[in-house]
Amino acid sequence: MTKPSLLELPPGVQLVYLAEGGANVIYRFVPTKSHLAVKQHPRSPLDPQLLSAAFGGKLLRLRKETKAAVSYREIVHNFDAKIRPLFHTDELVDQNLIRLPDGLLAHCNELLRLSELNGERPKKRHGGYLCSSEPFGLLITDMTIFNEPGATLAELKPKWLLQSPSAPDTANRCRTCALREMKNYESRRLGLKESRSFCPLDLVSDRFENVLRATTFIKGCNDRARLARILFRNPTLQNIQSRQKSFREVGLLGPSAQSRETSLDMTLRDCTMFIKIPADEKSPVQIRLGDLDLKTGAGGKAQYWRDLEHQLIDEGWYRGSNPGQEPSECALARLEGV
């Protein structure tokens, strides 16, 4: 069977900075000249129709220089081998390798430095630049609403849709709520802002009012009732929950403290759900999962996961018995009246 030829980014394409995280920068393709655009070549941009045909509905993800230093080729291999088989194609923010033209990364880095000087780049991202030795970018599904008037985009992290397998039998908090309450206690002690969010168990509840309760904390859609109807018994959420039930080597059952292996089990508990909601209620809603690069226990991460679980257990955060805990949003706490 002949392998498909590798995609190549043509030198006439222009890009506009869209967003970035700790490990990647995301760019949008643009068909016209712009003072904000990244020009890779002095000749005119590609014909807009050709651009739309080649990259319509796609964004470009470029890798930063990080300690993890996982190549895009390895990331795509893991995605294809471990993630794709678990979900339907239309449930995933897709990603495919594309070879980059010479000089692109260097020029993008110049513009990142310039954006730091003029105050356009978030301060917490200053000093982090693209990996100059990475020959590839990733074409990913565009889940923005840039060209969709009236549409809204809600984002959420489903996190642990099942209790941690090593939580005590007396737990009155799910793993996510126990961790949030522990972190909020520390924030209060330091005079920092506390975090408020939904209980993940509410997302997969059989009671509509629990799902509606969760939407209070989901940003991006002001119509809570409509969002709750979308999420109630949603097949993608149920699929994630089912996969978490199958892949349960987490908590104290997770990787050994010295492990450097990847963990699909932890990856499934830290993905992001993007919900693109059109203005017309009769039009289909698009739901896709992103942030599914395989997590690794390397660099002390496995040790951190185990230490965190021990702390949640030993200090009473799961039981809701720590003196620093306040009334909880957790579904388990409501069930027990704690």
pLDDT per position as a tens digit, 296-314: 999 899 999 999 999 999 9
Percent of the chain with pLDDT over 70: 90
The answer, yes or no, to whether residue 226 has pLDDT greater than 90, is yes
Average pLDDT estimate for 195-222: 96
pLDDT per position as a tens digit, 106-133: 999 999 999 999 999 999 999 999 999 9
CA–CA distance, 86 with 35 (Å, rounded to integer): 42
Cβ atoms < 10 Å from Cβ of 199 = 25
pLDDT at 47: 54
By three-state DSSP, how is residue 259 classified?
Answer: coil
At 119, list the tokens.
């105050």
Task: Quickly tell me which residue has 């809701």 as its tokens.
Answer: 320
Most confident of 9-13, 27-31, 288-292, 321-325: 288-292
pLDDT per position as a tens digit, 311-331: 999 999 999 999 889 889 999
Domains in the chain, CATH or no CATH each: 7-141 (3.30.200.110), 152-336 (no CATH)
Return the bridge partners of 97, or none.
138
pLDDT at 44: 40
pLDDT at 41: 41
pLDDT at 37: 44
- The strand pair at 58-63 and 24-30 is best described as antiparallel
pLDDT at 333: 94
The answer, yes or no, to whether residue 34 has pLDDT greater than 50, is no
The answer, yes or no, to whether residue 13 has pLDDT greater than 70, is yes
The answer, yes or no, to whether residue 104 has pLDDT greater than 60, is yes
The verdict on pTM exceeding 0.95 is no
CA–CA distance, 277 with 218 (Å, rounded to integer): 13
At 211, list the tokens.
């799902």
CA–CA distance, 188 with 183 (Å, rounded to integer): 9
pLDDT per position as a tens digit, 238-285: 999 999 999 999 999 999 999 999 999 999 999 999 999 999 999 999
Average pLDDT estimate for 184-194: 95
pLDDT at 337: 58
Question: Residue 97: in which H helix or E strand, if any?
Answer: strand 95-99
Beta carbons of 67 and 47 less than 8 angstroms apart: no
CA–CA distance, 24 with 65 (Å, rounded to integer): 9
CA-nearest of 4, 18, 3, 140 to 79 is 140
